Structure 1
């Protein structure tokens, strides 16, 4: 039996969802929490839609997570949803960061503070790896996308070509090929 249709969240609910995500996660792990919240838990979008949005968010200038929040908010609630999502992911976390920075400054002389930050960094890396593996499982195993991926890696890692021009070139080529195939 198919799932019952899910009501789309309004701007206030989007603000609260993103505020919770922004306040309970950190670093690259935010996109993993967004995947769990909007795809797996609430079923408001498909995994394919989410990963397409993540690709767009990463290709645009700015902070990937903020771009993703705006994209999800717009997809689910239009302009007001995008604004509410952006405010939800940015404002509450910014207030907390200012408070934490004041506390960290006072506690930075204690070694336990640095141990706690190392643990938080390890958790963020684990969440980012989880998100990367989820995306990698969904990538079509075709020659052209793999060739573009390998060429981009070689261009940036070994040839030291500028990242901006490499991504713009490879990204444009990939988009053109995907458009041609659709």
Structure 2
């Protein structure tokens, strides 16, 4: 039996985009949001291609500020222009901000209860799984060439094992990567 062909969902409205980002912001805990965004906009709705999404994710991570906010701006602008960017960032920030203020008051009152500890541990596990999923998708897209693979491995070792400061690893590794790609483009390899 073959899988049915995937068709793109209808293009979003401003309200629809706000509601999607609000839902993602309200249902994602402790990180892993880029995994939700990938599933929502690339895999489920087919509004953005995987390669475009990963390029947007790279840009969002390179820019200052919170990655998911940067990603919301990028996706919103890509889909509905500047209005989409404004609505997407409002959706990802405002409803969760209101919710977290209320939740903070409740958790503050219940923090010593054992069930609260179990719920927080479960949320952390789910966020770790989403981040791992996003890492696997990204790693699959790395070109199977020596320099990109070596840079990916060196970044993992520097941050994950040696615990070097992220800012220096990004500045040095990112700078090297950009220079390498620029040289490859100039040589006509890309």
Alignment TM-score, normalising by the size of structure 2: 0.85
Secondary structure at 1:45's aligned position in 2? coil
| Distance (Å, rounded) in 1 between the aligned partners of 2:136 and 2:67 | 17
Contact 1:8 1:77 in 2 (8 A): no
Aligned equivalent of 1:73, options 73, 76, 90:
76
2:102 aligned with 1:99, yes or no? yes
Cα distance, 1:69–1:163 mapped onto 2, change above 3 Å: same
Q: Which residue of 2 aligns with 1:150?
A: 153
Tell me, yes or no, if structure 1 residue 45 matches structure 2 residue 38: no
Cα-Cα RMSD: 2.2
- After TM superposition, what 4+ stretches of structure 1 lie above 3 angstroms from structure 2? 1-7, 150-160
Q: Distance in 1 between matches of 2:97 and 2:8?
A: 35
Match of 2:168 among 165, 168, 171: 165
Q: 1:122 to 1:159 in 2, by over 3 A?
A: closer
Shift of 1:170: 2.1
CA-to-aligned-CA distance 1:54-81 (integer Å, 9 cap, x gap): 1111122211111111111111111111
Q: Counterpart of 2:92?
A: 89
Count of residues in Structure 1 that have an aligned counterpart in Structure 2: 181
Structure 1's unaligned 5+ residue stretches are none
Aligned residue for 2:134?
131
Could you tell me the TM-score, scaled by structure 1's length?
A: 0.88
Structure 2 residues not aligned, in runs of 5+: none
